[in-house]
Amino acid sequence: MALRFWLAGVALLLLGEPGRGLPSGTKGSPALGSSSHSVHYFSTAMSEPNQGLPRYIAVGYVDSQLFNHYDSITRRVQPRAPWMEKMMEEEDPEYWERNTQIEQANEQWFREGVAILKHRYNHSGGFHTWQWMYGCELRADGSKRGHTQYGYDGKDYLALDKETLTWTAADSKAQITKEKWEKVPAFAQRDKAYLEGECLDELQRFLEYGKERLLRREPPVGKVTRMFLSEGREVLVCQTHGFYPKEIEATWRKGGEIMEQDTFRRSVAPNSDGTYHAWLSIEINPGDRDLYRCHIDHAGLTEPLVLAWEAPGGSSSHSLHYVYTAMSEPNQGLPQFISVAYVDGQLFSHYDSVTRRRQPRAAWIKKVEEDIPQYWATHSQRARNHEHVFRGNLEVARNHYNHSRGVHSMQVMITCELRKDGSKRSQYLFAYDGRDYISLDTETLTWTAADPPAQITKRRWEKDPALAQRWKAYLEGECIEWLQRYLEYGKETLLRTEPPVGKVTRMFLSEGRELLVCQAHGFYPKEIEATWRKGGEIMEQDTFRRSVAPNADGTYHTWLSIEINPEDRDLYRCHIDHAGLAEPLVLAWEVPGDNVRHIVGIVFGVLAALLLMAAGVVFFRSK
């Protein structure tokens, strides 16, 4: 094998050698004339098992498309793209077994590495990570780029400078590793040789086999929404969604003049169907609103998309949510207790154990001070009381589960809802480590336990019937009253409608099957009806749906997919109905262009997702 392959057992202690095995490449490297492309690999080791996460994960991407995966649970390198399966069947049947052996060795080396770094940074407990990212890129101008770098706890640790063949250390601890590695120049030389040779060869082969997927183009859809600020100012947000390749040019213009200095941009981010989304915003004087246009240019468009804000219409069902998260110990800089409040999915206040004050997160909530001067002081004290109670609940649950160490979380969700038909709905539930624990049934005034440890809590709480009665009274009384007040304060934002924009994309599956994905984006309120239909018949049983999720500008997005026989593709339509539409939106898949002007990408969400899951910040309700 052309690449180095060092087993963990021969790695020097104290991170004395960058001795990982790089994935073994493919055979042959014919030239491929195209635009920019990249292949990247990511490895993440964790200090301890945490909330069901593997202790080691390794993934590979071509142009941000996941193509292989390994973790410490399956202990096998497995394909994640049909074209990759086909390529290895035809060219290199031993690829999966060979790279499985490499990753099994890497797993051991990385687990030793994270233990060494914990000791070096004097981290005796808690959740810690050791990561490696490397890859290469063929740019549109013919130039090449490669990089390899390491991170500890999500921060830079060490990186290779290919030009000088030296290592750049991020701090004094990394300096120790730098000095050890630079005593053996062959380490850097072999990395450079891989990045400028075999890495690029395998990238070209990946592109050849995956060209139908990787060399396509999908045009963006877009819309403009509005957010209210204090002191009579506004923010216009331009959303663009469902495009491929990743490169896109978007600008805010006022009277034709590009307003780059005043524009705030969010990085281009991936969608689950392999396309991308992005947004850019600009703060404006409402009196100048009609002068602003969002200009979007992309390889999939025959001419730029020019968008302006359009006035929305009426309202729908409404809800008030409080989410509380308590953690067993400080972790990665996260507070041990966080409380957030939402109206109709819009964050309006926040409290944590660092500031110990409830603070506004929406311009409209500041109006409450005019009617209730002590509002923030009162609600801050209430949040401090909740912090004390819920952290106590967490300790009780840890004892029930015999969890004496590690990062654990207790979460509480309190919800009340006014529906379109005038009915009310409420919810009071607890989760431990991201899984259901116990919840209140407001009809029977009993508690529903998810497992035997939760049964202990259920029995204790049901000895005091007044507890369930008090919560029922709050959910159906005071909670609803506050929801109605908040709707009045924020009516310009909360009682509007924003119609969805939509498009249909296609993904290739194995055995000649396809997946059609219908995206709906930028709508408000949250309620939306979307179905796949074949020849007019609703195909509910065959439809896979993603939950409706919020965008940064307060609108929502969702998608639904269906697996099909390609020969029936023209029979399928996605029907979308929403309060903001005068009539349903009916969408079909449209054939994209043949070539791309720019394709380049790298997606790395592994660390962020792992840390959020490990810290229990994301509320997960199991089905």
Q: How far apart are CA 548 and CA 222, in angstroms?
A: 18
- Helix (H) / strand (E) element for 131: namely strand 129-138
Q: How far apart are CA 79 and CA 85, in angstroms?
A: 6
The beta strand positions in 367-471, using DSSP E, are 409-418, 424-432, 435-441, 446-449
> Contact, 103 vs 77, CB < 8 A?
yes
Segments of the chain with pLDDT less than 70: 1-35, 49-52, 312-315, 332, 592-623
Q: How far is CA 480 from CA 269, 349, 422, 487, in A?
A: 37, 17, 12, 11
Nearest to 580 by CA among 530, 533, 527: 527
The CATH code that applies to domain 221-314+496-587 is: 2.60.40.10
What pLDDT shows up at residue 24?
Answer: 57
Q: How far apart are CA 247 and CA 297, in angstroms?
A: 9
What pLDDT shows up at residue 267?
Answer: 83
Place of tokens 């979380």: 409
Give the sign of the dihedral formed by CA 78, CA 277, CA 202, CA 206: positive
Q: What single letter denotes the amino acid at residue 491?
A: K
- Listing DSSP states for 487-540 in one string gives HHHTHHHHT--B--EEEEEEEE-STT-EEEEEEEEEEBSS--EEEEEETTEE-G
The class (CATH top level) of 318-480 is alpha beta
Q: What single letter denotes the amino acid at residue 94?
A: E
What pLDDT shows up at residue 36?
Answer: 81
What pLDDT shows up at residue 593?
Answer: 53
The segment(s) of the chain belonging to CATH 3.30.500.10 are 8-214+604-615, 318-480
- Listing DSSP states for 237-286 in one string gives EEEEEEEBSS--EEEEEETTEE-GGGEEEPPPEE-TTS-EEEEEEEEE-G
Q: What are the residue ranges of helices labelled H in 25-161?
A: 82-91, 95-120
- 412, two tokens: 């509480």
The segment(s) of the chain belonging to CATH 2.60.40.10 are 221-314+496-587
What pLDDT shows up at residue 31?
Answer: 33
Q: What is the pTM of this model?
A: 0.58
What pLDDT shows up at residue 50?
Answer: 67
Nearest to 519 by CA among 497, 536, 500: 500
- 269, two tokens: 């981010």
In CATH, 8-214+604-615 is 3.30.500.10:
yes
